[in-house]
């Protein structure tokens, strides 16, 4: 993407012009002297002019400086981290890419696509009987692709892009097809469930959950959030499967063990931040090279203003701040003085940050004009916030809510089959050895995920998180599409299995 020249002129060239005009009389006198002294030497005259231009640009950069940016070291051992690699024979993404070669996509015709997608979603949730002929043909056409994809989910590790090459230019083909493969896996599970193969159905749900962890295993913001999205899409089909009468206690025990193993695959939040830091650092020279190629004079001004070094400093400050809070539970993270800026208050003894609003303006100034595949603003807008890393923090916490919902939901269904009803309180799941502990509410203050029984027969259980608003009101079940979006994300109903013979 081409840089925005007007903003570059404003942020880099106009200050230099102002300095030049302010010293016009000095330049005229000095020029006259140089012309008389070096009348026979055009080279020396050019050299003198170059020195003056360089000095002007340096002075302009000094005048354009905002608040001091702390000169912090890199926030982690970058060389050691980016050196990690994975051979193709052990990389799940290698098989996912092979699967994509034979992937048959839905018909792109608007009416056909929408009808088929809707039918696929209904079949994944309500059962195979909801699948129309187009959905059934689509699933059959992807048998080969699904086989390769499922083989990829059995591997332990995945890297979509080598860490040493990761940048804003990186293509993410595996992440781009995540929703398609997840939908196909849910359809396959729905189909084999209808055939009485409940254990085989679970193997497809397990594959989708492992896939969700692979997506964010060594990825940045996008991959991690796509992985969380896949887990969320799997949540309701899994809870519906667990409530089916043909699913036995043995099926649920296996599912519980698998979910614990899948959750252990979840990469720490700090890893996604480190990958994103690599992306920023690797992208800065790419952006500057693009500027040099199309606008060499602007590139000189940009370099002489010290902008590249300032951008690195800003990255070090921001990512050090985020990494210091990444592995803390939400209730133990440092507060934010300004949520629009998106930086936590520094720990006692840490480098002092410039005031939040001043830092925000500084970021806008340094990024303005250096357009980078649409990821950086191209105007010095003071409303430009720091990168939306808080979206990643929120996404990871919501992912933990979904993990808790699946884990607790499976344990509740197992308890129901073996005890004839749901427990009065979640600690009974630990006492009965279904769970080692009750998951904490990621949005709470250290308390376990919330739970209650409903219905005259106590045949419905509700599991919920207080959500982003931190309100117990988030425990209200959504009943209409107009209900709180937050409640749709954080409140789950666990329905009693019907016509069950308490199968063991």
- Where do the domains of the chain lie? 5-71+272-326+344-385, 86-158+168-268
What's the whole-number mean pLDDT along residues 155-161?
A: 95
pLDDT over 50 at 166, yes or no: yes
When pLDDT is cut at 50, 70 and 90, the band that residue 310 belongs to is confident
pLDDT over 80 at 109, yes or no: no
**169 in helix, strand or coil?**
coil
End-to-end CA distance of the chain: 61
Question: Token match 């070094």: residue?
Answer: 309
Tell me the pLDDT of the chain averaged across its residues. Answer: 80
**225 in helix, strand or coil?**
helix
When pLDDT is cut at 50, 70 and 90, the band that residue 111 belongs to is low
Least confident of 42-46, 189-193, 213-217: 42-46
Q: Comparing C-alpha atoms, which of 267, 217, 263 is closest to residue 406?
A: 263
- Rounded to an integer, what distance in angstroms lies between the CA atom of residue 120 and that of residue 339? 39
Q: How high is the pLDDT of residue 43?
A: 43
Report the residue count for the chain. Answer: 504
Long-range pairs for 173-176: beta carbons < 8 A, 24 or more residues apart: 173/97, 173/100, 174/93, 174/96, 174/97, 174/100, 174/215, 175/215, 175/219, 175/222, 175/223, 175/226
> Tokens representing 142?
């992807």
The better pLDDT of the pair 442, 346 is held by: 442
Q: What percent of the chain is predicted at pLDDT more than 90?
A: 51
When pLDDT is cut at 50, 70 and 90, the band that residue 400 belongs to is very high
- Rounded to an integer, what distance in angstroms lies between the CA atom of residue 463 and that of residue 429? 13
pLDDT over 90 at 191, yes or no: yes
What's the whole-number mean pLDDT along residues 8-23?
A: 42
What's the whole-number mean pLDDT along residues 100-108?
A: 87
Q: Comparing C-alpha atoms, which of 148, 151, 139 is closest to residue 105?
A: 139
| Contact criterion met (CB below 8 Å) for 205 and 234 | yes
Q: Comparing C-alpha atoms, which of 93, 180, 97 is closest to residue 138?
A: 180
pLDDT over 60 at 15, yes or no: no
| 3-state DSSP of 393-442 | HHHHHHHHHHHHHHHHHHHHHHHHHHHCCCCCCCHHHHHCCCCCCCCECC
When pLDDT is cut at 50, 70 and 90, the band that residue 215 belongs to is very high
Helix, strand, coil percentages in the chain from 3-state DSSP, rounded to 5:
60, 5, 35
The better pLDDT of the pair 454, 412 is held by: 412
When pLDDT is cut at 50, 70 and 90, the band that residue 452 belongs to is very high
Question: Token match 């018909």: residue?
Answer: 107
Long-range pairs for 25-29: beta carbons < 8 A, 24 or more residues apart: 27/52
Least confident of 152-161, 172-181, 236-245, 344-353: 344-353
| Contact criterion met (CB below 8 Å) for 364 and 377 | yes
Least confident of 63-72, 121-130, 393-402: 63-72
pLDDT over 60 at 193, yes or no: yes
pLDDT over 60 at 85, yes or no: yes
Neighbours of 317 (CB within 10 A): 24
In the 8-state DSSP scheme, what is residue 164?
G
Handedness of CA 447, 262, 422, 235 (dihedral sign): positive
When pLDDT is cut at 50, 70 and 90, the band that residue 70 belongs to is confident
In the 8-state DSSP scheme, what is residue 452?
E
> Tokens representing 426?
């979640």
| Contact criterion met (CB below 8 Å) for 355 and 469 | no
Question: Token match 């009348």: residue?
Answer: 39
The better pLDDT of the pair 36, 256 is held by: 256
- Rounded to an integer, what distance in angstroms lies between the CA atom of residue 11 and that of residue 379? 9
Q: How high is the pLDDT of residue 318?
A: 85
pLDDT over 70 at 370, yes or no: no
When pLDDT is cut at 50, 70 and 90, the band that residue 500 belongs to is very low
Q: How high is the pLDDT of residue 372?
A: 40
Enumerate residues 6+ apart whose C-beta is below 8 A from 26.
none
Q: What percent of the chain is predicted at pLDDT more than 70?
A: 73
Least confident of 40-54, 78-92, 272-286: 40-54
Q: Are β-strands 450-454 and 491-495 bridged in parallel, bridged antiparallel, or unpaired?
A: unpaired
Biggest alpha carbon distance in the chain? 107
- Rounded to an integer, what distance in angstroms lies between the CA atom of residue 205 and that of residue 347? 42
Q: How high is the pLDDT of residue 363?
A: 66
Q: How high is the pLDDT of residue 389?
A: 76
């Amino acid at each position: 993407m081409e840089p925005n020249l007007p903003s570059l002129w404003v942020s880099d060239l106009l200050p230099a012009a102002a300095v030049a005009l302010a010293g016009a009389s000095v330049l005229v006198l000095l020029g006259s002297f140089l012309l008389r002294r070096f009348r026979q030497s055009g080279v020396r005259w050019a050299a003198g002019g170059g020195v003056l231009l360089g000095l002007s640009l340096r002075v302009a950069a000094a005048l354009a400086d905002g608040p001091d940016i702390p000169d912090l070291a890199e926030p982690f051992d970058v060389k050691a981290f980016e050196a990690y690699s994975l051979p193709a024979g052990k990389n799940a993404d290698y098989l996912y890419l092979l699967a994509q070669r034979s992937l048959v996509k839905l018909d792109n015709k608007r009416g056909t696509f929408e009808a088929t997608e809707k039918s696929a979603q209904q079949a994944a949730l309500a059962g195979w009987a909801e699948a129309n002929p187009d959905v059934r043909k689509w699933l059959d056409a992807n048998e080969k692709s699904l086989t390769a994809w499922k083989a990829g989910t059995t591997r332990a590790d995945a890297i979509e892009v080598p860490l040493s090459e990761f940048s804003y230019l990186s293509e993410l083909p595996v992440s781009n097809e995540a929703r398609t493969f997840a939908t196909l896996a849910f359809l396959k599970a729905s189909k084999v469930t209808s055939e009485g193969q409940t254990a085989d159905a679970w193997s497809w749900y397990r594959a989708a959950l492992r896939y969700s962890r692979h997506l964010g295993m060594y990825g940045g913001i996008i991959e991690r959030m796509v992985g969380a999205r896949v887990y969320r899409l799997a949540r309701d089909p899994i809870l519906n499967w667990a409530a089916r009468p043909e699913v036995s206690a043995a099926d649920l025990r296996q599912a519980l063990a698998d979910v614990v193993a899948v959750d252990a695959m979840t990469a720490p939040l700090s890893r996604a931040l480190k990958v994103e830091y690599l992306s920023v650092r690797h992208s800065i020279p790419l952006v500057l090279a693009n500027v040099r190629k199309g606008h060499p004079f602007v590139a000189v001004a940009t370099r002489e203003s010290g902008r590249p070094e300032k951008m690195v400093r800003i990255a070090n400050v921001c990512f050090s701040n985020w990494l210091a809070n990444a592995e803390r539970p939400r209730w133990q993270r440092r507060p934010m003085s300004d949520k629009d800026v998106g930086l936590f208050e520094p720990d006692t003894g840490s480098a002092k940050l410039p005031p939040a609003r001043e830092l925000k303006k500084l970021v806008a100034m340094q990024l303005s004009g250096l357009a980078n595949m649409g990821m950086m603003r191209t105007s010095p807008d003071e409303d430009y916030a720091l990168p939306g890393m808080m979206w990643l923090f929120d996404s990871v916490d919501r992912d933990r809510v979904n993990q808790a919902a699946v884990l607790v939901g499976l344990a509740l269904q197992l308890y129901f089959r073996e005890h004839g009803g749901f427990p009065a309180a979640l600690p009974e799941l630990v006492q009965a050895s279904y769970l080692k502990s009750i998951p904490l509410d990621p949005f709470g203050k250290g308390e376990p995920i919330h739970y209650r029984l409903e219905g005259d027969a106590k045949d419905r259980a509700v599991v919920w998180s207080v959500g982003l608003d931190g309100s117990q009101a988030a425990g209200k079940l959504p009943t209409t599409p107009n209900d709180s979006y937050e409640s749709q994300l954080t409140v789950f109903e666990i329905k009693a299995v019907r016509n069950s013979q308490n199968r063991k």
